[in-house]
Structure 1
Amino acid sequence: MVFGKWFWIRTVEVWLTARLLASPSFHRLVGRVHQKVQHFRHGIPPEEMGGTNIDNNGPGLKKFVDYFREEIKDQFKGKPPNKF
């Protein structure tokens, strides 16, 4: 026998390893494990906790623009600026 049993075991091992590394589900699993380790070591980053809402263009921006328009109109009319 030219090839021993170790040759065939090694061949099957290489084939199985290649299939595992080509599998998308294996890479997703490794990615999730990596993410959990990073969260454990460094904490959860703010962008994954919902962010800071800086980009929120809700009623706050509209109120500011309305107030700014009103102040500009008052200045053109000669009224003194409002004090808070």
Structure 2
Amino acid sequence: MVLNLLFRSLEIWLTVRLLRSPIFHRMVGRVHQKVQHIRYGVPPEEQGGTHLEGQDMKYKKFLEHFKEELKDQMKGNPRNKF
């Protein structure tokens, strides 16, 4: 009986200590993240979201097409691109 009580007390103490540990919570968070990635795929916010690193190139392409369109209109022969 006393031995059972001692083991139960030790179990409670170890459980409390584990649950208060930040390392344990980080590990659980990583496991949860892996499971979510497997089940639902990688969320857009982890993939770069709006892809801000490639926005500069899009603006350059737009400006090139815009300049080309203005030149064509100034010549009087706008192209039908459709």
Task: Give the shorter-chain TM-score range.
Answer: 0.5 to 0.7
Pairing 1:82–2:49 present: no
Task: Tell me the equivalent position of 1:4.
Answer: 2
Conserved 8 A contact 2:72-2:79: no
Mark the runs of 5 or more structure 1 residues left unpaired by the alignment.
Answer: none
Displacement of 1:54 after TM fit?
4.6
Report the TM-score, using the length of structure 2 for normalisation.
0.61
**2:62 is matched by which residue type in structure 1?**
F
**2:55 is matched by which residue type in structure 1?**
N
C-alpha distance in 2 between matches for 1:58 and 1:23 = 44
- Report how many residues are paired: 79
Secondary structure at the residue paired with 2:55?
A: coil
Mark the runs of 5 or more structure 2 residues left unpaired by the alignment.
Answer: none
Instruction: Percent identity, please.
Output: 47
Pairing 1:68–2:63 present: no
Report the TM-score, using the length of structure 1 for normalisation.
0.60
More helix by percentage: 2
Pairing 1:17–2:15 present: yes
Secondary structure at the residue paired with 1:57?
A: helix
